[in-house]
Amino acid sequence: MTFKDHFSGHAAEYARSRPGYPAQLFRWLAAESPAAERAWDCATGSGQCAVALAERFAHVVATDASAQQVGSAAPHPRVEYRVAPAEASGLEDASMDVVTVAQALHWFDLPRFWAEAERVLRPGGLLAAWTYGLMLVSPEVDAAVERLYTGEIGPYWPPERAMVDEGYGGITLPFPPVAVPAFSMESDWTLDDALAYLGTWSGVQAFCRATGRDPVRAAAPEIAAAWGDPTARRRVRWPLSILAARKPAGPG
């Protein structure tokens, strides 16, 4: 089946430049799951979520529809990578304690994925999906990044990006909801780290393909002026918007 592929062409850069998720999130996922035996990380990308899950779960199956993404994923002895679409994982029925989707739910055929998650989860299993928007550094840096985001590349964002901007507010998971604590990603980055990350945006990549120009390079002087010392590591934050729901433990 076809899938919306915005990252295969720069899978290695994606693997190097995307931030990691907080350890506290994975402690919470393990505590909320019926067991810490098997986890499915769906649309794993370069494996940031899968590797973190493997610190809490005995076996993680991490799937992605992109063979290039899977080929660039971080190895871990408890992570089994497979190439498979979200809507047809090939996993066994009722085999997973938790299903996670990190920064990817907006690309899915949701009705088909809901059915797949229900099939794969054990009774009482947890489905969790999260997203994050623009990075936050300081008012000056944030304003420069916002101008990049909404400026020339604005028309090049895929329409699904609107769901990220809404923090998945319009999405309802197929099971009874579970309350989630507040979590944020944080990294200490240099200016080069931040610019490399911005270059992985799907809107930036689409703009480059269409125009042959690099919008991050064009925006770099403004971002650099706001950043200050380019070698200084600055704290970068991304508040997470997280949805979680539990498959009912029995009939009804």
Ordered DSSP codes for 148-200: HHHTTTGGGS-TTHHHHHTTTTT---SS-B------EEEEEE-HHHHHHHHTT
- In this structure, whether the domain defined by 8-135+159-186+238-246 belongs to CATH 1.20.120.10 is answered with no
- For residue 65, give the nearest of 19, 13, 8 by alpha carbon: 8
User: Rounded to two decimals, what is the model's pTM?
Assistant: 0.87
Could you tell me the residue ranges of all domains in the chain?
Answer: 8-135+159-186+238-246
Strand partners, 131: 241
Sign of the CA dihedral with 173 first, then 48, 181, and 33 last:
positive
Sign of the CA dihedral with 54 first, then 109, 251, and 130 last:
positive
How would you write the pLDDT of the chain (252 residues) with one tens digit per residue? 444 444 444 444 545 656 789 999 999 999 999 999 999 999 998 899 999 999 999 999 999 998 888 988 889 999 999 999 999 999 999 999 999 999 999 989 999 999 999 999 999 999 999 999 899 999 999 999 999 999 999 999 988 889 999 999 999 999 999 999 999 999 999 999 999 999 988 899 999 999 999 999 999 999 999 999 999 999 999 999 999 999 998 754
| pLDDT of res. 79 | 97
Give SS3 for 242: strand
